[in-house]
Structure 1
């Protein structure tokens, strides 16, 4: 595949999630299968979760590091 990235459908899109690695919370904006290799000859693909935090800035984490945030009522 010559593309550098590709969008992946995910059931938690637009839902509140937590990055278990950092503890940061936000809204899951996208999941992207991205080539994270720094080599032109070797591709290393990884599914990254793009999360928008309360400040409005987005951060990434591995898709396996997210969990839903239960809302207290």
Structure 2
């Protein structure tokens, strides 16, 4: 099993985003292609690392993020 993670470019890096699944907002810190399998068969998936307002980071599928539009 390969453990070679890869950082991916993304147009929302360092911008405020929302995780659609949880509704949590934060800053997109990184997008990393990671092996998410626990069965021995490799399954790679791009994961978004988001830092919430409390300083804790969490991951979600990259398809679950959307930009937060500033309110006026």
Which TM bucket (shorter chain)?
over 0.9
CA distance in 2, matches of 1:4, 1:21: 27
Provide TM-score, normalisation by structure 2. Answer: 0.93
Match of 2:6 in 1: 6
After TM superposition, the score normalised by the length of structure 1 is 0.92
Question: Which segments of 5 or more consecutive residues in structure 2 lack a partner in the other structure?
Answer: none
Which ranges of structure 1 fall in alignment gaps of 5 or more residues? none
Mean Cα deviation higher: 53-62 or 3-12: 3-12
Counterpart CA distance in 1 for 2:44 and 2:7 is 12
Partner residue in 2 for 1:63 = 62
Runs of 4+ aligned structure 1 residues displaced above 4 Å come to: none
Aligned length in residues: 72
